[in-house]
């Protein structure tokens, strides 16, 4: 298992559409078969959702898709996800990067913010 830090950052949700916010650069996807998010939300505004996730690509600058792991969080606290097999999404891709998916619960509130940091654990075959 390998631990990858996800530096503290401030996230912003601007709409109800789920958006991916990368927390790492691109990593080789060949040995990423399992992922687990471990993170802390220091503060979060009411109506905002944050969940650990990852994005895959075959070339930098051209992401193919992002995936969410676990349950969206809406309150401050510590969260430890389940070690999850992601090989069906990473196995045929060259690159993966880790981060957060964010969105607002409704379209009425203004931009919402959260402060989050943590780590991801990944394992190979």
- Number of independent structural domains in the chain: 1
User: Which structural domain range is residue 33 located in?
Assistant: 2-123
Decide: helix, strand or coil at residue 89: helix
CATH of the domain at 115: 2.60.120.660
Beta strand 19-22 with 34-44 is unpaired
Interval 104-122 mean pLDDT: 92
Res. 57: pLDDT tops 90: yes
pTM of the predicted protein model = 0.92
Predicted confidence band at 28 (pLDDT cuts at 50, 70, 90)? very high
């Amino acid at each position: 298992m390998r631990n990858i830090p996800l530096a503290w950052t401030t996230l912003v949700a601007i709409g109800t559409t789920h958006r991916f916010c990368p927390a790492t650069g691109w990593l080789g996807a060949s040995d990423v078969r399992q992922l687990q998010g471990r993170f802390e939300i220091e503060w979060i505004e009411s109506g905002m959702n944050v969940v650990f996730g990852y994005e895959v690509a075959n070339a930098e600058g051209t992401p193919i898709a992002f995936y969410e792991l676990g349950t969206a969080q809406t309150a401050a606290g510590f969260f430890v996800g389940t070690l999850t097999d992601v090989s069906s999404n990473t196995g045929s891709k060259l690159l993966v990067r880790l981060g957060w998916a964010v969105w607002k619960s409704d379209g009425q509130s203004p931009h919402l913010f959260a402060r989050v940091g943590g780590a991801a654990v990944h394992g190979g075959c």
